[in-house]
Amino acid sequence: MLSEQIISRGVSSKIVIDAMMKVERHKFVPQSFINSAYDDSPLPIGEGQTISQPYMVAVMTEYMDIKRGDKVLEIGTGSGYQTAILAEIASEVYTVERNRALSLKAEKLLKSLGYSNIFFKIGDGTLGWSEFAPFDRILVTAGAPLVPQSLPHQLSDNGVIVIPVGDKFTQMLKIIKRENGKFSEYDKFFCCFVPLIGDQGWMENK
Ligand code: SAM
């Protein structure tokens, strides 16, 4: 998976590659998809949601440019696979998932795997997690119509947000950087994520 799907497409960060080597994707997919666990694609995880494509997990993590010691906010825990990759690198990961069943399942799995630096919340991640702000890095793993206005306010100086923004079918993967209080935005490439549903995201069933 790493050499054919990730390194060959240009992901070169050692810290990211080491984390991806360590976290076993087959532990995060339903039993019925075990044989496809290392395929180059997203996979269903129940509740109408997906575990992201391995390449997408790797490249988003590389764009975050996480430093050891960073405090990271993740919106969209899903299976917890990306959460585990983040927790291998960052000091603390705060992850928010709106679907209760997925959040509880991911929490149980990640605790059983020994992660003690992950903090879970069931709720609307478009509002961020203000009690623990500011965050050094923020990752949104669902497609947003616009950058939720709460998130830049919860980003520390020299912080980075990685977020897919667009319509419900195609989004642009964006990197937003904060330096000396000023924000700059960079477009990377088109991608396709499940919708970010919430107060500052898409309305449900619309
Ligand atoms: N990175 C995850 C993984 O590795 O399994 C996949 C995340 S999945 C593509 C996107 C997740 O975002 C879904 O589980 C969905 O329920 C969640 N989500 C959508 N809107 C949300 C919101 N406002 N707050 C928190 N989670 C949200």
pLDDT, one tens digit per residue, over 5-30 is: 999 999 999 999 999 999 999 999 99
- Choose which residue among 88, 127, 197 to substitute to test ligand 1 binding: the one with the highest number of ligand atoms within 8 A of its C-beta: 197
C-alpha 111/C-alpha 196 separation (Å) is: 25
- In this structure, the strands spanning 171-179 and 182-191 are antiparallel
How far does the centroid of ligand 1 lie from the alpha carbon of residue 76, in Å? 3
Measured from the CB, is residue 197 less than 6 Å from ligand 1? yes
Catalytic: 52?
yes
Contacts of 136 (CB under 8 A, 6+ apart): 66, 67, 70, 71, 72, 90, 156, 158, 159, 160
Residue 97's beta-bridge partner residues?
122
Handedness of CA 169, 38, 93, 46 (dihedral sign): positive
How far does the centroid of ligand 1 lie from the alpha carbon of residue 44, in Å? 12
C-alpha 42/C-alpha 194 separation (Å) is: 11
205 confidence band (pLDDT: 50, 70, 90): confident
Measured from the CB, is residue 49 less than 6 Å from ligand 1? yes
Residue 70 has pLDDT above 90, yes or no: yes
Measured from the CB, is residue 93 less than 6 Å from ligand 1? no
Residue 150 has pLDDT above 80, yes or no: yes
C-alpha 152/C-alpha 199 separation (Å) is: 16
Residue 10 CA, chain-centre distance (Å), reads 19
Residue the block writes with tokens 């939720």: 148
> What are the structural domains of the chain?
2-191 (3.40.50.150)
Residue 206 has pLDDT above 80, yes or no: no
